[in-house]
Structure 1
Amino acid sequence: MPLRPRRTRPRPESTTLPFRGLFIGAGLLACGCLAVALGASWYGGALRLAGQSEQRVPLDILIGDDHLRLPANMIRFEDQRRAGMAERVDLYLAWPELEGYSAALRSRFDAPDDQGRLIFVQLSQSTMSRDMSGRVEPIYRHLLEGPARPGPAGLTAQTLKKTSGFGEDVLLTGTDADGALYAVRCALPVAPGKTTNADCQRDVHVGRDLTMLYRFSSQLLPQWQAIDAGLRRFVSASLISDMSQNDSGDALRP
């Protein structure tokens, strides 16, 4: 199945978006999430056609003000496996190893739909001033209907209105080990056999000005704290603070 064309997203005019801007951004995000939901069922086939690589050569990738150094075998799409400036980079990682494609992990990458052991990560320049947890109060609370109820893995579940643009997604919230609000949207399957590696999605701000959007199976919800903390550590370790430190990776190219 062909990949979706990339779109150039405008930079926000200020670091703090007005309330109305948040709703506009949320609407655009909802459209993108609907496309993700429609495409979740063919992730397995798409992976087989994506041209996986076992090469671990580190690539220096510059997204806005953030400099990332990532091994090629973690980068999902072949045309993104190059050093230089990029609008975004898409990764796929085996869980819990947080490793890229390899001969030892081949079976995990070739049949991901019902395994629940891959995490898809997209790193791009931030276009909203708030991440998903930060949008709960100003945005999501206006899109909820019905009472809160106990959800999976100790989280609280709330139904999103049919008119919200988020399909059948449910908003799950909780408190992490540091006392911070955690929020994730999931299309909870009616049966365990219907799960995919894209049931749930969450976005957080990382680095200087990056948004990390990641998707994972609802089967992994019991590990939500470990996943969130692990991915944050992974990105932090992949960020290069000194732009002159290019000796261990491919040099940045304009």
Structure 2
Amino acid sequence: MSNGFGGEEIKQESSWRYPLGIFMATLVLCAIFLYYYVGPSVDDFSGNTPSPAITEEPVRVEIGGITFSPAANYTVFPRARRGGARDEVVLYALWPTMNGYTPAQRREFIENEPDSRRIDIVISKSSSMFSERDRFERLYLPETLDQSGVRTPYQLTKFNFREQRSNVPTNGYSDTELFVGTDADENLAAIFCFKELDEVKSPECWREYEYGETIEVSYRFKRPYLPEWQALDAAVRKFVEGLDQTSVTAGQ
């Protein structure tokens, strides 16, 4: 600070102040940019981003009054590994061994290949007032082209739905085929499969069935394994039953 003409005080500012301010502003903007593109998202913090686990530590999850205890390497989302009460738990396993995630099998679990052996399993609270048989008889069958269906070589009857057209409303099933059979417990099994079309790169099949009075289980698998559906279905149901700690405790 010095005196100028007329005795006025003149303040001398440091030459590095403005460059430093620009540098700090640029640094903050870069940090925000990096966080936005590569930093954890809200879903990451809440555990809603799929992330495999290698530990086999059991996790206790309570759904609809039933306690299930899958190993952590069967869980898809980190939130499930916190345990406690949940509306659903999403799991995966490899067919036919039904083992959980391992780094050596990462490709099978992570990639969506047409012949992937991964089975996706969701255990959730019941949300439908209809049983699997009721859904078939009341909802699906009336929408098929031929209610007699066509027999297949693998103990299933195939049903086709109306094709989707721009001027005709559809039932929402037009891109799928329905296969109906009887599982090992003599229950009706209704299995939907996406049609094998060029635009469907990795077609899947799925079934949803009741587990007790409060739980429903749905599972998905790749269409090439449809001929093995009976063994696959039995393996999934045995797997889910093995996770049920409530029934184990009651049997002791």
TM norm. shorter chain > 0.5:
yes
Task: Give the 5 Å matches for 1:202-213.
Answer: 202-213=207-218
1:252 matched residue in structure 2: none
Instruction: Find the residue that maps to 1:97 and give its secondary structure.
Output: coil
Within 1, Cα distance between the matches of 2:237 and 2:219? 11
Deviations 1:22-70, CA, capped at 9 Å, x for gaps: xxxxxxxxxxxxxxxxxxxxxxxxxxx7221101110110112111111
**Is 1:121 matched up with 2:128?**
no
Q: Match for residue 189 of structure 2?
A: 182
Match of 2:99 in 1: 99
Q: Which amino acid aligns with 1:159?
A: N
Q: Describe the SS at the equivalent of 1:241.
A: helix
For each residue in 1:139-187, what CA deviation from the matched residue of structure 2 results, as whole angstroms up to 9, or x when unmatched?
2111112462244634221112341112411111123345432210111
Larger gyration radius, structure 1 or structure 2: 2
Unaligned runs of at least 5 residues, structure 1: 6-48, 246-254
With normalisation by structure 1, the TM-score equals 0.69
Distance 2:248 2:232 in 1: 29
* Structure 2 residue matching 1:236: 3-state secondary structure: helix
AA at the equivalent of 2:76: R
Instruction: Report if the CA contact (8 A) 2:189-2:207 is conserved.
Output: no
> Does the 8 Å CA contact 1:152/1:221 hold for their aligned counterparts?
no
2:131 and 2:222 map into 1 onto residues whose CA distance is 20
Aligned length: 197
Q: Give the one of 169, 172, 184 matched to 1:165.
A: 172
2:83 is matched with which residue?
Answer: 83
CA drift at 1:243: 9.8
> Secondary structure of the equivalent of 1:194?
coil
Q: Are 2:162 and 1:155 aligned?
A: no
TM-score scaled by structure 2? 0.69
Could you tell me whether the CA contact under 8 Å between 1:66 and 1:208 is conserved in 2?
no
User: Cα 1:210–1:177, aligned 2, differ >3 Å: closer, same or farther?
Assistant: closer
What residue identity is the alignment partner of 2:138? P
Amino acid at match of 1:231: V
1:120-142 CA-to-partner distances (Å, cap 9, x unmatched) read 11110012233434411122111
Q: 5+ unaligned residues in a row in structure 2: which ranges?
A: 1-40, 44-48, 165-169
- Larger RCO: 1 or 2 (CA < 8 Å, sep 6+): 1
Amino acid at match of 2:208: D
The whole-number CA distance in structure 2 between the counterparts of 1:138 and 1:151 is 23
